[in-house]
Amino acid sequence: MLEHIPHWLGHALKGLRAGTDKLAIVQDGLGSFAAIDLRSPAFADGGRLPERFTADGDGVSPPLFWTGIPAEATHLALLVEDADAPTPSPLVHAIVWGLPAGDGQLAEGAIVADGDGGAQGDVGRNSYLSEGWLPPDPPTGHGEHRYAFQLFALAGTDDPGATPSRSDIVDAMRGRVLAAGLLTGIYSRGEPADVGPVGAAVPV
């Protein structure tokens, strides 16, 4: 959708960004938490997202893996947000609630609507009000967008509902976060960009 915005308009909106201070991981009240090691075999932290995970490619979700989950965690939640969207709040690209506690991974393409055989948890609503992965689709000429993959290890929470939104899960997580991990992928349109380093090897 946003690929149709002309380059001049995207460039004019360059200063309009949601901001990293509005990402879920930095919100008040989530708790004091340790670090989760969250990585992808497809891209390095701070590296460019391969096109196949965006609206310019196949539009599937990237593979992820994580280690360092506290033993007392009961389940995990994943939230992916675009900190640089030209919107008042970060654009939500994925929510997965109720992932099994412990070290684990999501395969490429696993974040799909419930019932389509993807992620093990409950897939929530992205900013386009649909379940599943919303492929990155930044405006042409708007510059680099930072896509924040945020994983939370939780010690029990309130039920956020059958198809939780971003506000539902943030409310449910307040005071329950034991550990959290952050992995950032970069993507842009209409500007020169290096592919960047590849991701990390999945532990065996």
In the chain, the amino acid numbered 54 is T
- What DSSP string runs through 39-90? E-SSS-TTEEPPGGGSTTTT-PPPPEEEE---TT--EEEEEEEETT-SSSSP
Mean pLDDT per block of 10 residues along the chain (204 residues) reads 47 64 91 91 96 96 97 96 92 94 95 74 89 93 93 88 88 93 93 70 73
pLDDT tens digits for range 64-100:
999 999 999 999 999 999 999 988 999 999 999 999 9
pLDDT tens digits for range 6-26:
453 444 445 568 889 999 999
- How much is the pLDDT for 4? 54
Q: What is the number of other CB atoms lying within 10 angstroms of the CB of residue 139? A: 26
Domains of the chain in start order, with CATH, are 2-187 (3.90.280.10)
